[in-house]
Every structure is written in C-alpha cells, then in structure tokens.
Amino acid sequence: MKKSIKFLVMIILIVIGANAVSCKKNNSVSNNTEDLQGKITVLTDKKHEQPLKAAIEDFQKVNKKVSVDLKVDNNSYGKFSESVKNKDKSIDIVTMDDSYVQYYLDKLPHGFLDVSGEVDNYKNKLSKSKVDNLTKENKIYGFPWSTSPKVILYRKDIVSSEGINIDDIKTWSDYIEMGKKIIKDKGKKVLGNVENENSDIYLLMANQLGVSYFNKDSKVNFNDKEWIRVVDTVKNLYSQGIIYDYNSKEELINSAKNEEVMSFVSDASCVSYFMQNIPNENGKWGVIQLPAFEPGGNRDVSLGGCNLMINKLSSNAKLSKEFIKFIINNNKLALESMVKYGVLPVSNDVYNLEKFNKNESYFNCRVWQLLANAEKGCYQINYTPYFFNIRDDVKNSLAQSNLINKDTKMVLDSLQKYLEKK
C-alpha cells in the first residue's frame, strides 16, 4: 500500500514538473531577470518618444542587465534607411507608421528581420489588416504596436443648446444640417480637419465605403463608383462651410481650447490629450461615431498605427524581440500608454479588460470601447509601396479649388488615367 502511495506521489510530481517546464517554454516574455542582458538601440520620432520611454523604464526594472537606448529623430525613416545602406548595425529597432511600411519594405528589401514565427504566436490577438500590412512575399517583417481608429469629439453644450439630440445625427446629411444651424446661431467652426496621411478627409470617407487609393489587387482605384460619393460629400461639406482646415493637430487643439470649433475627427491621442492636459474642459465634450453615408451605413473608420520593426543586421535580434514582446504582452503598460499618451493597443486582449471598458467621466462615455469598436468594424486599407508616390497628385487633383464647377466623375477619371500612366 505504501509503495502504491509513493508511486502515485512520484507520478504527480513528474506531471507538475513537466507542466512547469511547458509553461516556462510557452511564456513569450521571460520573467527571469538573469536571462536577458545586453544593449539595444531603438529609433523613433517625437510622437512615440514618451510611451517608449515608459516601456523602456518598465523593461529595465525587471531586466537589470539590459540597457535600452532611445534615439529620437523626426527624420527617423531617413536615418534608418541611411544606416541600412551603410550596413550600420547600431540601430536595432525602428518604429514605423502603417502608411510607410510597404514603401520601406520595397525600398529596403534587406533592411528588416523576418519575424513571421514570432508574430504567428500573436495572430489571434491582432487584426488581419495589421499583419497583412507588415507582410511581403508571405513573410512578416514587424510587430503591430498601435492603431488609430477615428471618432468625432463634439461640444455637448453647444449641441444641446440648439435643442439637438446627438443620437439623431446618424448620417453626413444630418451632420451638415446640424452644422448649418450652429453656424447661423453660434458662429462656430463646425468640423475641424487636419490634412495628413492619417486624417485626410477623403481617405477617412473612402475607408468608410471600403475603398482607398488602391484596390485589393494594388491597382489605382479612383474609377470605383464609391469615390464619386466620397468626393461629392466632401464638396458639399466645404460648400456649406462645415469643414474648416487646420495646418496641424496642435493648431486644431488650440482652436478647440479657445472654443472656436465645436467638433473634429479624433483619434486616441486627442482623447488622451484632452483628459490629461485640459481638465477645465471636463464634461463639455462628447464622443460619437463618424456619421454614415446613409441610414444604417458603416460608421467605423481606422487610418494609421505604429509598428516595431527590427533591423536585419542587428546583432541583438533576440533581445530586441524580447523587448517588443514585453511591450505587446504587458496589459498594464498598454493601458497606461493608452491613457497617458493615446497609444491605442492593437492587441485585442486589452479590449476585454475592465479598465479598458470603464466609463471615462471626462466624456461621460466608454470612449476607449468606442474606439476599439471602430477598429474592429473598419475596412482594411491596402497602402502598397506606391502610396506616397501618388499622394501629392491625389491631393492636388481633389483640392477644392480644382473641383469648383467641375464634374466629379470627369475629375476622377482624369486622375485615374494620369496615375495609371505614371
């Protein structure tokens, strides 16, 4: 009997030991501070400096033998390109926005480390579009870090003073009618707009309708009938005085602080900025989805996001991967980066956390949940390596000064033919 008991105990201990080893192997981020050592250098731009500083600080706390050097340069892509061409190994990791990824994968074919195996472990946490954007010839060359779904921030007090129920504003036509009333009664600018690759009003609306500069086959796509709806709607917004253009996000935010504009298209960074830096506006601003083109139409839009990519020449690839995995898997860090710096995580694990889904008193709504829902519901954008090659042509062709008294279809047909020949 005693022998049987001893044998049973031994079996149990063996099983427990095997499970412990298995768990350790499956843990993608080491908890043993003695495991990791060395130095890596991360290159980023000013926009991502603060969240990366916070991540580095946390990483070094649990990895005492690791040093992470953060270099900040607003020409980070140019600097990284130069280092790759010179076979310089000093930069281990570079941050790169979604819209630039395919361009640099094409421009620097031997610049980035293939991390397909590592990303495969996270695919169930990520949107397919984010992984696809980092993929070239069936290999994945980076880790998605953040994303940039869009909502509209609006002045609740102004809307309510006009007797308007914001829940009734469901389409762009509704928004235009509301805007006309506010212009007449309040003299406010209605919808602030900043033109860049992640907030361009044409791209925003095109994304709503599932189109972009290029179709899924990477062909120029301005002959798609949905582009006519996009351009005509934007023309209407401008002709009615609804949209007001700003030169920068900072200029737009200052205008909002000065109570000059009553709404604008926002991402997580603006949400965070208001909560952290403009406490006196608490309770004045609300959040809604973008209006649809028709009742019941799509209101989910996402443009942009940031990725972490490793230099193929890096001598510290293993440590670089561990640092990136730490950022991706650390839910506490993800929530802090989101609230403090507006870095909305791309990992949908975070979207299920209680703190992510709580009501934010500043806006009196579950603003992070609204952003996450927009991310989940949006159409994929095919940036292609040629996005920036045609961007200025598109911008010039669709400028309001070029659209006056012109047939929209003719303008788009002309643009399509020109770009096909380019």
pLDDT per residue over 211-235, tens digit each?
999 999 999 999 999 999 999 999 9
Q: Is residue 25 part of a domain?
A: no
Are 177 and 246 in the same domain? yes
Residue 44 has pLDDT above 90, yes or no: yes
Residues 55, 141, single domain; the answer is yes
pTM for this model (two decimals): 0.89
319 within a domain of the structure (yes/no): yes
Q: Work out the pLDDT band at 22, boundaries 50, 70, 90.
A: very low
CATH of the domain at 248: 3.40.190.10
Per-residue confidence (pLDDT) for residue 197, from 0 to 100: 55
pLDDT tens digits for 101-128?
Answer: 999 999 999 999 999 999 998 888 888 8
Which of the four pLDDT bands, split at 50, 70 and 90, describes residue 98? very high
| Number of folded domains that form the chain | 2
Q: Which structural domain range is residue 287 located in?
A: 151-300+363-421
Read off the pLDDT of each residue in 263-267 and give the average, rounded to a whole number: 96
- Domain-embedded: residue 15: no
Looking at the domain assignment, is residue 338 inside a domain?
yes
Average pLDDT over residues 141-159: 97
Same domain? 274 vs 375: yes
DSSP SS3 for 266: strand
State whether 117 and 189 are in the same domain: no
Q: How far apart are CA 230 and CA 239, in angstroms?
A: 14
Q: How confident is the model at residue 2 (pLDDT cuts 50, 70, 90)?
A: very low
The reply to whether 128 and 238 lie within a common domain is no
132: exposed, middle or buried (C-beta count within 10 Å: 0-12, 13-18, 19+)? middle
Q: Is residue 23 part of a domain?
A: no
Place of tokens 């650390």: 330
Under 8 Å between Cβ of 32 and 60: no
Residue 160, in any domain of the structure: yes
Q: Report the length, in residues, of the chain.
A: 422
Q: Is pLDDT above 90 for 406?
A: yes
User: Are residues 292 and 314 both part of a single domain?
Assistant: no
